[in-house]
Amino acid sequence: QCLYQFLAFVPPSNGSLRKPGTAAVLVDTQHPLTLLLNGSVGDRELCKIQYHFGEFGNYSLVVKTLSTSAKTVSCDLVINEGPINSYLPILFAFLVYMGILAILIVGRLFMKIDPVRNWVYKKLNPRETDRLINSELGSPNTTDSVSSDPTPRLWSTASRQRLRSLDTFRGLSLIIMVFVNYGGGKYWFFKHESWNGLTVADLVFPWFVFIMGTSISLSLSSMLRWGSSKRKVLRKILWRSFLLILLGIIVVNPNYCLGPLSWDNLRIPGVLQRLGFTYLVVAALELLFTRAGAESGTLESPCPALQDILPYWPQWIFILMLELIWLCLTFLLPVPGCPRGYLGPGGIGDFGNYPNCTGGAAGYIDRLLLGEKHIYQHPSSSVIYQTTMPYDPEGILGTINTIFMAFLGLQVPLFFLAVGYINFSNFLFQGIISAILTKCSKEEGFIPINKNLWSISYVTTMSCFAFILLLLMYYLVDVKRLWSGAPFFYPGMNSILVYTGHEVFENYFPFKWKMQDSQSHAEHLTQNLIATTLWVIISYLLYRRRIFWKI
């Protein structure tokens, strides 16, 4: 539903010289396009062609007059030079990393040979660091010794040890986030979706929020179990939230290298700011209503399908009230010049009827309360929909659903800690809600999946994905111990340092350098993968030296 955008004017041919008029244009290759050719006299439609052009392809649209009297023309699309296969660099990178993995696996097998292992240990003298270490944002503590049985009979027995799967999950989310923030090889599916829909880049932030909620539950229960008073825990929650918000404001405003921060264009929202506020609300809510036995899965429930909801019924009431507020503001708040309940991108979308309505109520609230200069100036919607209004994907209204996402993650320990019982009903219900709200489509649903808006359907869909992925990691890492969680475990143990570091040093060597061909996927992908791999190596070295940045 986008307005046609002017590409070029084709001059008339010189009849005497039989030389056709020509015009050269560049077109987008991410989506199929419709080319509309209008006559210069009367603006009459001559022909219309729909085509999905390929990257670096060269095409000609040949227009010929068939009948001067009938004013009919023919339009034929000719491929002068075929497009390149832009996915070959991804295949090559995949093979390289698989080769590295194969070498590591072979090395691990050699380490099982006693003479080889003894020689390596004698040379390196490694120190064991896998023990009681709290990672930031509330990683769980260990209270019991590691069981001698490498394959526990019940899934629940692994919960008594440190859950490496939580740090592995956090690390995976963080590494994908670093990769896409560095550019993702300039592939469209490693960038955020322009508006409705999902790409790889849209998965990672909600996963990070989800695992933060899971860690909150375990860390708070651990502190209370070790005798910390609720007042002391609350002070720690307030201090940690303050530091995250302050750090976020500094990180998202990179002009601090040029002098004092200028309030005139200081961006207030951001990733760490939203994490800090979400952590404050969810952790305080859990601290206020936590009860003995809730964290260990010992609370009895007359209905097994509701055993993950009933222990949290006061929190659920609070969360549902927040969701009601989100719904009322989103669909009932009057926005000047925009229809009520508008969820579109504005710009040239919706046939250009609402150019200044980007984000509807969400964008209006941010511009009203924070000011246009204090929110994100280059939203993803500007790429396709050519929006001119600033819009912040980490704005005020979307924070409500971020709290909801963290709260869903907070309930995960009940699944893992309940003896011999895994309750899928809650997350199955969320999947059904997503299907209903979206009508299983990208654009036609009641509330489409939208990362910019952090819509309810986006939260329910991402929580289902996160639960399935975390459950798989839990089974492989903590239950069967088929995987140590490497290499994602290491950045997961230092997530704040890695996230902050990759933002601060983004434009410095060796994370970035001048390219010979800025249009090359191969060069961009090489640079972005090297930069991401360096942060994995840095986090591993810090882990080996027991250096952890905690807030």
Closest to 497 (Cα-Cα) out of 277, 251, 190: 251
Helices (H) and strands (E) in the chain, counts: 16, 4
Annotated active-site residue 192? The verdict is yes
Amino acid at 200: V
Beta strands per DSSP E along 325-413? none
Tokens at residue 110, please?
Answer: 């050699």
Please report, as a single letter, which amino acid is at residue 90: I
d(CA 408, CA 470): 13
CB 209 within 8 A of CB 409: yes
Tell me the two tokens of residue 374.
Answer: 């204090």
DSSP structure string for 393-421: TT-HHHHHHHHHHHHHHHTHHHHHHSTT-
Q: In 3-state terms, what secondary structure has residue 326?
A: helix
- Of 454, 453, 532, whose CA–CA distance to 177 is shortest? 532
| Catalytic position from the list 192, 374, 521, 524 | 192
Alpha-helix residue ranges (DSSP H) falling in 112-144: 114-124
* Number of residues in the chain: 551
Please name the residues in contact with 129: beta carbons below 8 A apart, sequence gap of 6 or more: 543, 544, 546
Residue that is written with structure tokens 């075929």 in the block: 82
Give catalytic residues, as residue numbers. 192
